Amino acid sequence: MTIRVIIVDDQAMVRAGFAALLSAQADIDVVGEAPDGRRGVEVSRSVHPDVVLMDVRMPELDGLAAARELLDPPLGVIHRPKVLMLTTFDVDDYVYEALRAGASGFLLKDAPPADLIAAVRIVASGEALLAPSVTRRLIADFARTRPAPRKDRALRLRGLTPRETEVLELIARGLSNQEIAGRLIVAEQTVKTHIGRVLSKLGLRDRAQAVIFAYESGLVTPGDASS
């Protein structure tokens, strides 16, 4: 199955470089480009990509606002692509808001080419792209800027089993599925099953929103990130 991608970035050279790299992959087809968020939304609704590579800072409409439009479309618009934000560490707060809006993750713009290719495949498959090291950086920013835990989030945690709660906590600490399996001494497939149940019970889209939820609920605190 071919993954249909559009690239939204205000730098023509960046778009061209990403397009050349991704188009060289047998399973990826770049079906459109856009120089700003507004045009990115228009192109996406026209060609229906599987994945949108979205820069954060752009003219006309920034990447965060464009992601919100794509992930919470107006009545009558059915298509919702996966959105992968392109960013740098100095815009962590934008990244946090993008994840809350439903973006499937984020990638540093200076990441190695292999990481970009892998990221597109990961989010296209329905997974969230949250590398442990980047998750911990995001958590640190959250700790500095976010308000006290939300009571409504804490109440919803009561619907989880003790093991599901433990898995959610480890996700929020930045552990991968393999690391969680090792910590709990279970099979990796068992971890995936627990994660699926956690997402279903809490009404979350993916792993990215699970991390946000864990911190907003007060299940974990920033000090846990380094545990």
pLDDT, tens digit, 9 for 90 and up, residues 43-73: 999 999 999 999 988 888 888 889 888 987 7
Query: Counting runs of H as helices and runs of E as strands, what totals does the chain give?
Result: 11, 5
223, pLDDT greater than 60: no
140, pLDDT greater than 70: no
131, pLDDT greater than 60: no
Which pTM does this prediction carry?
Answer: 0.70
**Residue 200 corresponds to which tokens in the numbers above?**
């279903």
Beta strands 51-55; 82-87: pairing state:
parallel
- Which range is least confidently modeled, 40-44, 105-109, 132-136? 132-136
Instruction: Give the count of beta carbons closer than 10 Å to the beta carbon of residue 133.
Output: 9
Give which of 43, 63, 45 is closest to 54, Cα–Cα.
63
User: What 8-state DSSP symbol labels residue 25?
Assistant: S
Q: Where are the domains of the chain?
A: 3-129, 149-226
Q: How far apart are the C-alpha atoms of 86 and 11, rounded to whole Å?
A: 12
Give the pLDDT band (50/70/90) at residue 178: confident
**Residue 101 corresponds to which tokens in the numbers above?**
């809006």
Beta strands 3-8; 51-55: pairing state:
parallel
pLDDT value at residue 225: 47
Percent of the chain with pLDDT over 90: 41
28, pLDDT greater than 70: yes
Mean pLDDT for 129-144 is 60
pLDDT value at residue 105: 79
148, 151, 202 from 84: Cα distances, Å:
28, 30, 23
Mean pLDDT for 148-165 is 81
| Contact (Cβ atoms closer than 8 angstroms) between residue 181 and residue 170 | no
Q: How far apart are the C-alpha atoms of 11 and 194, rounded to whole Å?
A: 41
**Residue 49 corresponds to which tokens in the numbers above?**
């990509």
| Contact (Cβ atoms closer than 8 angstroms) between residue 218 and residue 149 | yes
pLDDT value at residue 226: 45
Please list the residues that pair with 87 across neighbouring strands.
Answer: 108
The third-level CATH classification (topology) of the domain covering 149-226 is Rossmann fold (3.40.50)
Check if 3-129 and 149-226 are the same fold: yes
Average pLDDT over the chain, rounded to whole? 83
92, 107, 115, 200 from 119: Cα distances, Å:
18, 8, 6, 24
Read off the amino acid at residue 138: L
Q: How far is CA 123 from the centre of its chain?
A: 8
Which one of 65-79, 84-98, 135-149 scores highest in mean pLDDT? 65-79
Mean pLDDT for 192-208 is 88
Please list the residues that pair with 85 across neighbouring strands.
Answer: 54, 106
Give the pLDDT band (50/70/90) at residue 11: very high
Q: Which helix (H) or strand (E) holds 10?
A: none
CATH superfamily of 3-129: Response regulator (3.40.50.2300)
